[in-house]
Amino acid sequence: MSTKQEPRPFEEVIVETLAPSDPQLSPDGEHVLWSASSYGKKEDHPESSLWIGPGDGSAQGKQFTFGEHNDSMPRWSPNGESIAFLSDRAERGKPGLYLIPKTGGEARPLVTRKVGIASFAWAPDGKSIAFLSPDEPTEEDERREKERDDPDVYGERWPYARLHVVEVESGESRLLPTGDRHLYDLAWSPDSSTIAFFSSPTPELESRKNTSLFTVGRSDREPTHVCDTNRMAMSLIWTSDGEHLAFLSGHARTTSALTAFAVSPSSGEPRVIGPDDQEPACANGLDVAKGDGRLVLTIAQGLSTRLEWVDPASGSRETFYQPQEGDFSGASVHTSNVELNQLAVIWSADVKPPEVYAGAPGSLSAVSNHHAELDNYEFGRQEAFYWTAPDGLELDGVLIYPPNAGDGPHPFIVHIHGGPYGRYSMGWNLHPRANWQQWLAMHGYAVFMPNYRGGMGHGNPFASSLYQNITDKEHEDIMSGVDAAIERGIADPNRLGIGGWSGGGLLTAWAVGHTDRFKAGIMGAGVSYWGAMAMDTDVYSVLNDYAGDAPWDGPGPHRSKKHSPISYAKKCKTPLMIIHGKADQRVPVNQATGFHRALLEIGAETEMVLYPREQHPILERNHQKDMFRRVRDWYGKWV
């Protein structure tokens, strides 16, 4: 007589589960490649593997590389016969460039460097690959490290990512002249003669607010400046006719929504070809269709996402794919004779975790089943939630009910997204790094995920409305959503909790200093004092963009103090758990320790958990499991 085996604890399973990403259709559309890595890493370095499946969605895919190292960024050769990818199999944490036949076999190292490779791109003729990598350490660099004679003088030894081209057949590579600039994206011209790239003045993330677009030919002595861009420039591509470069960037250099731009490679002013600055939508991806080279634009609007054709010359756009339920990311498109015949995406829905789907756009089928073990668990159904802010702004969000939920009201957790330029959609909402929504629903809570102003999906006026005025309006947006849930009989007003990560941690800390309606809060990697944030964060310009000023703007009074939760900590009556990574560079750990000290000073109910080695997201498996359990227990104790 057999007995049914009880499933392992969910938090044990999810951290080991593989999550797919970066699907890539082959040039003929017959195969799709993707990378898969576990939600949580076992040791210091993440591990990921490459997988391959049929592009028509007719069967399940198979593992293509072993997964004992970090294999990522798979890219088909132009003829579809081989695959280039990054892997740290030569030295952990230092990705090299490898080639493997599409039929499988042993991967051949094409380029390995002590400093690793950041990114790469095939030349359209398939003979060369361009890649970005810093200079190798010199003998002097090695002497300094060995003898500990290594004072770090600001700007003296910047590790600029530079542009190299390697010949696929011979393995010979050479450095192209780009000057002392830090490169972070690249694209080939269709004739394989010229490479376009983004550059910033220094390797600091902060310096990308001064991004410029250049081109350089194989025989040029110096690069040619094309244009300057707004902040957050990314997704650089060259159109198949060679007439345009296209990319994503913000509408403005400060807080703004993303849109698509096109510019002539010979220089000029970038033109908007994505949502204009008044359209209630945001660009969220840009690529080239395999087959005819048309531009594919990913658009986020409200709670849904869609794919559009976009003409770089006229800016005309046409929707060609939008799922009827759930949401997707990472689209790869293949066309034949101008007809769309193959599509690959990462799709998910409320009770369906993300998997790779491929096939004809109207009949996609799953070709991965990485989350199979999660079939043993029951998740909560979710629905769209709409309400109106006090100033009349129409808002949306997502609501997850507990599995098998009866009539409300339910114990109710508000889970706030980060950014603030983030968004919740109708896809599967759970990730061990910082998102606990379905985990909480599994434990009996209704979970509310508000898309407050400042986020993605509602256009530029919505996204830029927080300029120099963060916290106040978002708090009103969130609280009015809570009131709407109470009025509709969904939320129990006596059993409310709040929490979030990064920007969500900031707004949680703000909420507990401005209302005592919540029974418990969880502040994850949140800002508490903008002035201290300026001293260590890798993106210090957010101070002026969001909080209004910086400490060096004079003796004050400072607007940023008005928008700092620590200024209101003495009013906190809500039990608050603070969670933070000790190595966080985005929101330094002093934001957690400072707020914790303020709460201890007034005798508030608080607990602080700091995870060694962790940066802004929590990546190690044991830390993720611990965080899941602490989050469950904290809300269970108070809510």
Give the pLDDT confidence of 32-75 residue by residue, as tens digits: 999 999 999 998 899 999 999 999 999 999 999 988 899 999 99
Cβ pair 438, 378 in contact under 8 A: no
551 in any annotated domain: yes
Banded model confidence at residue 394, pLDDT cuts 50, 70, 90? very high
Tens-place pLDDT, residues 454-506: 999 999 999 999 998 999 999 999 999 999 999 999 999 999 999 999 999 99
pLDDT for the residue 3:
54
Has residue 249 got a pLDDT over 80? yes
> Is residue 403 pLDDT above 60, yes or no?
yes
Query: Could you tell me how many helices (H) and strands (E) the chain has, helices first?
Result: 11, 36
- Asked, for residue 249, whether it belongs to a domain, the answer is no
Place 632 in a pLDDT band, splitting at 50, 70 and 90.
Answer: very high
- Position 535 scores a pLDDT of 92
Prior bond of 557 cis (ω within 30°): yes
Read off the pLDDT of each residue in 128-156 and give the average, rounded to a whole number. 94
Is it the case that residue 339 has pLDDT exceeding 80? no
Domain hosting 511: range is: 374-638
pLDDT the model gives residue 1: 46
Total structural domains within the chain: 1
- Residues 74-108 have pLDDT tens digits of 999 999 999 999 999 999 999 999 999 999 999 99
pLDDT for the residue 68 = 87
Give how far Cα 459 sits from Cα of 272, 319, 481, Å.
14, 17, 20
Q: Does residue 45 belong to any structural domain of this protein?
A: no
3-state secondary structure 571-603: HCCCCEEEEEECCCCCCCCHHHHHHHHHHHHCC
pLDDT at position 410 is 98
pLDDT at 534 over 60: yes
Least confident of 207-211, 308-312, 436-440: 207-211
73 in a domain, yes or no?
A: no
Closest CA to 598 of 624, 628, 566: 566
pLDDT for residue 7: 83
Kindly report the average pLDDT of the chain as a whole number: 94
Nearest one of 419, 487, 495 to 450, comparing CA atoms = 419
Residue 522 lies in a domain: yes
Q: Is 393 part of any domain?
A: yes
What confidence score (pLDDT) does residue 4 get?
Answer: 58
- The CATH number assigned to the domain holding 516 equals 3.40.50.1820
pLDDT of residue 337: 65
Backbone angles phi, psi at 413, to 5 degrees: -115, 130
Average pLDDT, integer, range 574-581: 98
Interval 181-226: pLDDT, tens: 999 999 999 999 999 999 999 999 888 888 999 999 998 999 999 9
Q: What is the mean pLDDT of residues 349-369?
A: 95
Residue 358 in any domain: the answer is no
Contact between residue 74 and residue 50 where contact means Cβ atoms under 8 Å apart: yes
Band (pLDDT 50/70/90 cuts) for residue 243 is: very high
pLDDT of 409 higher than 90: yes
pLDDT at residue 338 above 80?
no
pLDDT at 311 over 50: yes
533 domain residue, yes or no: yes
| Sequence-distant (≥ 6) Cβ neighbours of residue 247 within 8 angstroms | 185, 198, 213, 229, 233, 234, 235, 236, 237, 260, 261, 270, 286
CA separation for the pair 93, 345 (Å, rounded): 28
CA distance 621 to 55: 33
Q: Can you tell me the mean pLDDT for 578-595?
A: 97
Residue 322 clears pLDDT 70, i.e. is over it: yes
